[in-house]
């Protein structure tokens, strides 16, 4: 029986992992800060919704709802990008599953925070953002002719 061969992690994957840790810290601070403090970070949605309402394009409530969803999608696009680059053997569905689980964790923690509340629309929007990020990486690598690393074979007894 031969010894397993050590496979070196590509430098790009290591960089993506480091960036992912930093970005996840940013996301954690953004979504788990008390609502009064996070409003200073996320208040841009309200400002833009006010501009849209003042311009007569849509009501404040409707534009705030749409912008909140778009912000949640945008928040998770980098997660999909970085997960796909950090672990290139993951399939798109696996990357999306990881992003969905992260979102469920975020919403669960928000459920026990007195000033925050969880929503299913956030989980859906965050998961959609992860999907978009993973698809961007997949499409760009495919267009560039970069081969996906082979899946590790399972050992059978």
**Which of 68-82, 99-113, 143-157 has the least mean pLDDT?**
143-157
- With a cut of 80, say whether residue 57 has pLDDT above it: yes
**The pLDDT of residue 119 is above 80:** yes
Q: What is the pTM of this model?
A: 0.85
Decide if 134 contacts 102 (C-beta within 8 A). Answer: no
| CB 135, CB 92: distance < 8 Å | yes
Tell me what pLDDT residue 122 has.
95
Q: For residues 63 and 116, which has the higher predicted lDDT (pLDDT)?
A: 63
Q: Is the pLDDT of residue 154 over 90?
A: no
- Give the DSSP letter string of 11-80: HHHHHHHHHHHHHHHHHHHHHHS-HHHHHHHHTHHHHHHHHHHHTTSS-HHHHHHHHHHHHHHHHHHHHH
The mean of the pLDDT values for the chain is: 88
């Amino acid at each position: 029986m031969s010894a397993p061969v050590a496979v070196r992690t590509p430098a790009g994957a290591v960089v993506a992992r480091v960036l992912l840790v930093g970005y996840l810290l940013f996301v954690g601070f953004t979504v788990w800060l008390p609502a009064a403090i996070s409003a200073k970070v996320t208040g841009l949605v309200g400002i833009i919704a006010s501009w849209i309402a003042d311009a007569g394009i849509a009501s404040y409530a409707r534009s705030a709802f749409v912008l909140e969803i778009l912000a949640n999608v945008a928040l998770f696009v980098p997660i999909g990008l970085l997960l796909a680059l950090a672990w290139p053997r993951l399939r798109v569905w696996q990357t999306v599953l990881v992003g969905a689980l992260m979102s469920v964790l975020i919403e669960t923690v928000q459920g026990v925070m007195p000033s925050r509340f969880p929503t299913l629309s956030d989980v859906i929007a965050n998961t959609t953002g992860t999907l978009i990020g993973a698809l961007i990486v997949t499409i760009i690598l495919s267009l560039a002719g970069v081969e996906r690393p082979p899946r590790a074979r399972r050992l059978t007894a």
